[in-house]
Each structure stands twice: as C-alpha cells, then as structure tokens.
Amino acid sequence: MSTSRQADSAAGGRLRAPLFFALMAALIVLEGMTSGWNSALGILNMGLLSAIMALGVNMQWGYAGLFNAGAMGFVALGGLAPVLISMPPTQGAFKAGGFGILAAFAVAAIAVLGAVWLYRNLRGKLRGLAVTGVLIVGFFAYRWLFDPAVEVIEAINPSAAGNLGGLGLPTLVSWPVGALLAACAAWLVGKIALGLRSDYLAIATLGIAEIVVAVLKNEQWLDRGVLNVNGIPRPWPVPYEIDLQNSHAFVAKMQAWGIDPTLGSTITVKLAFLLLFVIVIFALIWLTEMSLRSPWGRMMRAIRDNEVSAAAMGKNVTRRHLQIFVLGSAVIGLAGAMMISLDGQMTPSSYNPLRYTFIVLVMVIVGGSGSNWGSILGGVLIWYVWVKAGDWGPDIMALLASPFPAGPFKEHMIDSAAHMRMLVMGIILLGVLRFSPRGLLPEK
Amino acid sequence: MEFLNALVAITNYVIIPATAYGAQLALGALGVTLVYSILRFSNFAHGDTMAFGTGVVILITWGFQAMGISFGPLPTALLALPFGIVVTSALMLGTDKVVYQYYRKVKAAPVVMVMVSVGVMFIMNALTRFLIGVDQINFADGARFVINARQWREMTGMSEPLTLRSTQVITVVTAILVVWALFWFLGRTRTGKSMRAFSDNEDLALLSGIDPNRVVAVTWIITGALATIAGTLYGLDKSFKAFTYFQLLLPIFASAIVGGIGNPVGAIAGGFVISFSEVGLTYAWKKVVTYLIPNWEPDGLVQLLSTDYKYAVSFTILILVLIFKPTGLFKGKIV
C-alpha cells in the first residue's frame, strides 16, 4: 500500500509542477478572454510581485522556520527606495534642511553608540545613570536639530512637494536599494529577537511593520506622508502610454494588427513590466535553487529540521537564522520597491497587514513551505483568488440573499460580501495546514 | 497652588486615562498569557477575538435598547456582556474542536500553532465584519461623567479642570473584579489548580490524572470571557472599530512579554507599564511645565513623541525587555 502510494506521488511529482503552472496559465488566459487582457495582465503582474514577496517569506519560513509577521514593513520600506532614489530632488530642500536632518541622525547614532559603549564598559549604579543621561541628552539634541530642519523642508512648495525629494537616479537603481533598506531593518530586528523564543521574532516583526508604516504616514519631509508621492518614474525599458499613442510608428503597427492603439499602449506597458518581473523572478529562482543545493542549503535544512543536532555539529544556529532572515527580508524589500515603480505612486495609507503580511504567508503555505517554485505558484494563484473573491463575493452573496425579502437584513448581507475574501483566505490557510501541510508543490 | 494645578493636570491627562487603558491591556494580556501557558503558543487571533466578542456585545446592546431595557446610569453593554461572553466562549470551544485539537494530537511545533492561529485570525476577522461591519461604533450610554469639569470647579474652585468619565471607573472596577475572580479560580478551585499544574509540567499533570481536555476547554472559556470583557471595556472607553482591535495585538503582546509571558501577575503589571509609558510619552507636557516652572513659556508642545507613534512605545519597551531581561519583569516561561 505505502509503496504504491509513494510510486504514485513520484509519478505525480514529475508532472505536478507543470500541471499546476498550466492550470494557472489557463486561469489567466480565461480572465483575458472574459474580462479583457488589461485585467488579466494586471492580475498577473501583481501576482508575480506577490510571488517575489512569497519567495522572500519562504526563505524565512520554508528554509529556516522563522515566522515573520511583519512582511508589510519590509514591503513598505522597500517602497521608500523609488521615492528617495528616482524622484527628482525638490529644489532647495536639501540645502535648507537636508544637512540639519543628517546632523540630527548623526547625533542620534552617536548617542545610541555612546550608550552601548558606556553600557559595556561601566559597572554598577554609575552605568544606569550614565546610559540614561546620554540617551536623554542625545534625544533632546536630536529634536533640537531635527524639528527646525523638518519645518523648513515641509514649508517648501507644500502643495506639490514639501519633502526632500529623491536623487533623480534611474528607477532600476532603486530596486536593489529597496532590498538594502529592508535588509538593514531586518538585521536590527533579527539581531535582537533571534535566538530567543521562536515567536518573539513574530511579535517583534509585527511591531517594526507598524512603526515603518507609521513613519511613512507621518514624516512628510521624507515621503509627503498621507499626501502621497505621485509620478514616480518608470524603470528603464517601460514606455509611457501617452508616448506610445503619440508615436506614429506604434499607432500604424497597432492598426495593422487590428488593435485599438489606446488599448494596445496599455497592454504594451503591462507586458514590458511583465518582462522585467519575469527576469527578476528567474534570477531569484536561479540564485535560491543554487544556494539550496550548495552545502549552505544543506546546512540550513539541517538547522531547520533539528536545531539541537545542528548546534551540536558546531553550526551557529542564531547566526544562520540572522543571515537567512536578512536575505529573505531583502527579497521582500525588492518586491516592495518594484511594486511602487509599477504603481507609479507611493500611498502609505494603503499598506495593510492583512494584504501584505498575512496573505503572503498564505501564499507560501499553499505553494509549499520550502519550495521556491511553490512560492511562485502560490503567489500568483492566491493573488488571483484574492482578486476574484472580491469580484465574486457580491454575486454569491446576492444569490444567497435572494430568498430574503428586501430590507435592512438583505442589505447587510450584500454589504458584508466585501469581507468574503478574508473568510476564503482563512479557510484556504487552515485547510492546507490541516490536510496538505506540504502544500501544492512540496519541497523535494 | 501652581503645583496643585500641575498635579491635577497630570492626573487628568495621564494618570486616569493610562489607568483605564492599562486595565484594558492587562485583561487582554491575561488572555494571551493564559493561552500561552496552557496551550503553549502565541495566539495571533486574540485581537480579533476581542473584536468578535465586542461585536456580539454591541448587537445584544442594540437589541436591549430596542426593547427599552436599560441599566440605569450604567451602560447597557454591561447587561449584554454575559451573553457576549457565552457566545464568544462557545466560538472558542468550537474553534478548538475544529482547528486546534488536531495539532495538539500530532504535537505540532509551537510556531506551526502560531501559523494556525493566523488562519483562525482571518476567519474571526471575516466573522466580525459580517456581524458588525468595519465602521466606528459608539455604544456607550448611561451617565457620561462621574465628575465633569464644572462639578470639579464647584467642588474645589481650581481653574485646572479634572474629569472622570464613568467608563473609566467602570473599566477599573470591572478589571479588579475580573482579576480577583480569576486569581481566586486559579488558586482556590480544583480546576484552577489543575490548570496551574498543567501549565507547570504537562507530563506530571497527566500522570496525576488531570484530564487535559477539561483543562483546555476551561482555558478557552476563560480566554473567550477575558477577550470579550477587555474588548467591551476598550470599546466603551474609546469606541469600537474592528481594525483597531487587530492593532491592539502589539501592545497586548508587549504587556504579556514585559511582565513575563505565562505569568498572570506579570501580564497585569506589563499592561500598566505599557499604558503609562505610552500615555506619558505621547502627552504634551506644556501645561504641566508652565505650572511648574514659573515665568517660562516653552515654544513647542513639549511632547516627546507624536501620538501617531504610540505603537513605537510598546515596541521599544518590548525590545528593551528582550535585550536585558528576556524572561520579563516577573519570571515567565522561556522555551
């Protein structure tokens, strides 16, 4: 019995991945034929970005068993990079307040480092007093430098700018910078929370995510806060719709193919983004698969499967955990930066923990913990379900509510359909964890 | 006189609100810490459980109000509270049967249990929104103030106002009663003692004939009750909004860890540490400073941290505890 089942799953194993990906492609094509290619490509592009986030979370959860409850924070931090790197600088902002802000940060860093140094080198009662004193003085010095600088910057052309602006570099440069920003934050959190109880990391990441989003919402000098940054430049090969529509060659070509030029231009833009995303995904998959097959990958699996024995073999478990946590967060940050370039705007109030943290976990679990291709499949599939559950929810609810007489109860039922997707996600997550804990494409 | 004014201002803007908020956090943290010590995982669904329980209480309150039943000067929600507790605890027991029981049987790793609780969180989240929607709801009725600003002025003749809202008094009184009942239950009753034994050493407890299913069931009932009470008190004091309750998860976890996770006394202490730091650091001290230091008017608000960053306070305290005392103020479990 057991041998024949193993044989079955081995035969299914070879066909499993292509089959699921073919199913996924069929769903996207179906969407294209029923609701138009703009919608289908839109879902696919966001799905692939979610897949990159899932790849990052999978590195943490799947390779090492680390629970990151703050993917949203790293997505948001990555998203800051296009604003700071590829937006044009605000005229005079840096000169007016930039140095003040840099000086304030320098003071803060010196105060923190000084406090750490004092803590390590002093003993007894003096230590507590000295550390507290340095931190308090540092805090007031920081505020004394920081507040006037912020006031000056936010006063510059507040209706359109009021922030520092960016460096005006190409957008593609901002993607790795987004990864770097997320990696730095991850190092800080990981350094403190790793090596303690396993769910302390989850709670610490939950906190850092809330704080990152609070900073993005409130620090106007940085990213205009809730006023949003619009018109973030697109990455290099992606054209603008309006340029395509004004190009005679493009219009002539579209007309020759019998496609409306406006529709053609939006689809061309989406395809260009798609191409970029696919390149990034293949690069990431190649890197991760190579590293998983290397001795390093074997070590990571050994640590995940049995921390005690890996530690007994002389592996520094906490250090490895920190390493993988930082790498995974960098991938999540990369996806965050790419998402802002795709949207062309930074809207800090749109970061929602359910969408950017917990759905990504569902993607990883459904795809198969530890399986990179599984994360890609899970990313696109779950994003598709998420979008579609939003579309179908009202229809299903209307059907369910049809026997009831019109009135407040029926209205309430139809209004609440929007929350259907949460229920669907919960059921999918619990169902997969219970009945198929290895996911759709299990790790080999 | 100036000194007294400063004292009144501090009481009015810091001590009273922070005490009420601390009591709410403490009740929330007690629920988290209880699940942690008996079932051995961090329950991410706790915030949404609080939201669900409060949602049920609000619906029943509306029902009572429609029937013309009121609780005199007290909020009608207090009458609805027992019913909300029954519904929420029943849901907890059902969730355990359908979801958590299986993972206990296969002895899943704690971090898998945390992931499972995320799934439960999604479902609770949807249930709450189906039930009551996403809007902000104010459901406090009855007398609004125990002492309002005018009464205070007539009583004392001081220019600095002091108000004491009835919801703040109700929060603190209820919290004291609940905590007393919980400690009496854990310390004096047979079931409570078996729960503590189970928490200390599961194997030994099983060997001595304690029924694990009973312990787990009682734990979920108490957790449901604590979550409903904490959520309702928070909603009465501020207002109900489903998403706010999810965000309460961070200060609640921080309270539980600061006090020492798994330790009920610690959870209560942690709640007050977090609430006093949060309110104290985000309060604009300008008024107090002008009273205390004569002839000096500060330029700014003398606010150390903008209220938008109140979650940063919980986080920073959490980080400090993790660095310097990972077991918490009162020795908690560390696994």
Domain spans of chain A?
Answer: 35-91+156-435, 92-155
pLDDT tier, B157 (very low <50, low <70, confident <90, very high otherwise)? confident
Mean pLDDT of B239-265: 91
> Which pLDDT score is estimated for B81?
95
Q: How confident is the model at residue A5, as a pLDDT? A: 43
Number of domains in chain B: 1
- Give the per-residue pLDDT at B66: 92
Q: What interface predicted TM-score (ipTM) does this complex get? A: 0.89
Contact yes or no for B264/B34 (Cβ under 8 A):
yes
Check A207 against B318: CB less than 8 A apart.
yes
> What is the number of other CB atoms lying within 10 angstroms of the CB of residue B9?
21
Q: How many CB atoms lie within 10 A of CB A398?
A: 13
Report how far apart the first and last C-alpha atoms of chain A are (Å, whole number).
21
Give how far Cα A284 sits from Cα of A52, A140, A176, A277, Å.
Answer: 8, 44, 13, 10
CA separation for the pair A224, A87 (Å, rounded): 12
* Contact criterion met (CB below 8 Å) for B288 and B2: no
Residue B48 domain-assigned (yes or no): yes
Reference B47, options B20, B29, B23; nearest CA is B29
Give the chain B residue nearest A414 (alpha carbons).
B130
Collect all residues from A whose CB is shorter than 8 A from any CB in B: 65, 67, 69, 139, 147, 192-193, 196-200, 202-204, 206-208, 210-211, 214-215, 217-218, 353-354, 358, 361, 365, 412, 415-416, 419-420, 422-423, 425-427, 429-430, 433-434
Q: Domain A35-91+156-435 carries which CATH code? A: 1.10.3470
Residue B304 pLDDT level (bands cut at 50, 70, 90): confident
Q: Is the dihedral of CA A416, A419, A424, A426 positive or negative?
A: negative
Q: Report d(CA B224, CA A108) in Å as an integer.
A: 44
Contacts of B99 in chain A (CB under 8 A): 430, 434
Tens digits of residue pLDDT in A204-236: 899 899 999 999 998 888 888 888 888 889 998
Q: Give the nearest chain A residue to B258 (CA atoms).
A: A200
If you measure CA to CA, which chain B residue comes closest to A136? B304
- Residues paired with A165 in a beta bridge: A89
**Closest listed residue to residue A272, CA positions, set A229, A248, A249, A243:** A243
Q: What percent of chain A has pLDDT over 90?
A: 49
Cross-chain residue pair A426–B119, CB shorter than 8 Å: yes
Q: Does B42 touch chain A (CB under 8 A)?
A: yes
- Tell me which residue has tokens 């200390």: B200
Task: State residue A7's pLDDT score.
Answer: 41
Is residue B307, in this structure, part of any structural domain at all? no
What are the backbone dihedrals phi and psi of residue A89, each rounded to the nearest 5 degrees, phi first?
Answer: -65, 150
Please, which residues 249-308 of chain B have a Cβ atom closer than 8 Å to chain A?
249-250, 253-254, 257, 261, 300, 304, 306, 308
B273 assigned to some structural domain: no
Contact B122 A425 (CB under 8 A): yes
C-alpha span between A51 and A48 (Å, rounded): 5
Q: Radius of gyration (Cα) for chain B, nearest Å?
A: 21
Domain for residue B237, yes or no?
Answer: yes
Radius of gyration over alpha carbons of chain A, in Å?
25
Q: Examine residue B294 and state whether it is found in any structural domain, yes or no.
A: no
What was the pLDDT predicted at B17?
94
What per-residue confidence (pLDDT) applies to B333?
58
pTM: 0.90
Residue B132 maps to a domain = yes
Task: Give the DSSP letter of residue B41.
Answer: S
| Predicted local distance difference test score (pLDDT) of residue A13 | 65
Q: How many CB atoms lie within 10 A of CB A51?
A: 30
Strand extents, DSSP E, B86-212: 145-147, 164-165
A268-287 average pLDDT score: 95
Whether B318 and chain A come into contact, CB under 8 Å, resolves to yes
Task: Work out the angle between the directed axes of helices A171-193 and A71-86 (0-180°, nearest 10).
Answer: 140
| Confidence (pLDDT) at A12 | 56
Average pLDDT (B197-218) is: 89
Q: Which of A239-243, A402-406, B46-50, B244-248 has the highest mean pLDDT?
A: B46-50
Residue A413 has pLDDT above 70, yes or no: yes
- With CB atoms and an 8 Å threshold, state whether A430 touches B322: no
The domain containing residue B152 runs over which residues?
18-244
Q: Is B315 part of the contact surface with chain A (CB cutoff 8 Å)?
A: yes
Helices (H), A59-98: 64, 71-86, 93
Helix, strand, coil tally for chain A in percent (to 5): 80, 0, 20
Type of residue at B66: A
Smallest CA-to-CA distance from A283 within A334, A230, A349 is with: A334
Question: Average per-residue pLDDT in chain B?
Answer: 90
Q: Which residues in chain B have their CB less than 8 angstroms from residue A202's CB?
A: 42, 44, 111, 114
What's the mean pLDDT in A332-360? 93
- The chain A residue lying nearest B303, using CA atoms, is A143
Average pLDDT on A375-385 reads 95
For B118, the closest chain A residue by CA position comes to: A358
The token pair that represents B173 in the structure block: 């009184």
Any idea which residue has 């995904």 for tokens? A281
Identify the pLDDT of residue B334: 47
B101 or B157, which is more confident?
Answer: B101
Residues of chain B with pLDDT > 70, as a percent, come to: 99
Q: What is the pLDDT of residue A185?
A: 94
Alpha carbon A337 to its chain centroid, in Å, reads: 8
Cβ–Cβ of B111/A365 closer than 8 Å?
no
Q: Where does A169-260 have alpha helices with state H? A: 171-193, 198-218, 220-223, 241-246, 248-257
Q: What's the whole-number average pLDDT of chain A?
A: 88
B52 touching A (Cβ < 8 Å) = no
Mean pLDDT of A109-113: 93
